[in-house]
Amino acid sequence: MKTVFEYAEACLRSPSIEEKLALTHQAWQCEQSGLLHFDTNSPVMAIADVNFPAKPALLPPRAMPNRKLTTVDGVVAFFHAIAHVEFMAISLAWDLLYRFRGLPEQFYRDWLRVADEEAQHFELLQGHLRTLNVQYGDLPAHNGLWDHAVDTADDLPGRLAMVPRCMEARGLDVTPGIIAKFAAVGDNVAVALLTRILTDEVGHVERGSYWFKFVCSQQGLAPEAHYQTLIKHYYRGGKPKGPFNREMRIIAGFSDTELDWLES
């Protein structure tokens, strides 16, 4: 494979966890070595043709195991849920760079880097789950993140608004508090793992903000107003509920106007 789009399609078509991880790291290493090309005339496959592993079983959110951090089972369920989020984030990054063509080369480089970092996160979580005597896939998960990808398969501003600038941005709001809970019980491994993920996620949301503003400018749209329109259209329930981490969100490219609207 020579182009980022060939790697992307192979990764998205594969139902194998191991192959998705290997292809992601291989593509990033090729990019870093200057061996990856970013031109293509190949057609884009339908989002319905993206494949995932047979496990975990996908159930409605209300059927998820209890994730209270005060019990061993709750901690296991929490880390399994986070592993699922990070695994889905690999395909979300790949699909973003694969599905939307004709953008600057840096767009594709940015989301390939994000895919590689999400793969690293998943591998760290996979290892942590093993120390808890659980494998990824042993517990059920839900498919809410990918549903947003399907909803925005033909809408690049919508994808950027809903995935990095909505769903991923929620991690900036809630993860610091979860880190504090693990720190309070002396779980330094969990603290280090979640801190690493949080640090990278700030950068992912920032890239989402940057490219959202870029695409809005290309399309003659006012970014702050269009963000509100897209969230109202795609977010089930109207818009996310706070509290919001204003400091981290501003670092990640949110404006005070956007945050005032979210908090209103």
Model confidence over 146-202: pLDDT tens digits? 999 999 999 999 999 999 999 999 999 999 999 999 999 999 999 999 999 999 999
CA distances from 221 to 82, 90, 227, 229 (A): 34, 29, 10, 11
Tell me the per-residue pLDDT of 216-239, one tens digit each, with 9 for 90 and over: 999 999 999 999 999 999 998 889
- Taking residues 78-97, report their average pLDDT: 97
> So what's the pLDDT on residue 17?
97
Query: Mean pLDDT for the chain?
Result: 96
More confident residue, 66 or 150: 150
CA distances from 176 to 121, 171, 245, 247 (A): 17, 8, 9, 12
DSSP letters for 172-241: HHHHHHHHHHHHHTT-HHHHHHHHHHHHHHHHHHHHHHHHHHHHHHHTT--HHHHHHHHHHHHSTTSS--
User: Is residue 143's pLDDT more than 90?
Assistant: no
- Taking residues 121-149, report their average pLDDT: 95
Cα torsion 153, 245, 90, 77 to 10°: value is: -110
User: Is residue 1's pLDDT more than 70?
Assistant: no
Q: How confident is the model at residue 42 (pLDDT cuts 50, 70, 90)?
A: confident
> So what's the pLDDT on residue 87?
98
- Taking residues 90-119, report their average pLDDT: 97
Q: What are phi and psi of 62, to 5 degrees?
A: -70, -15
Write the single-letter amino acid at 189.
V
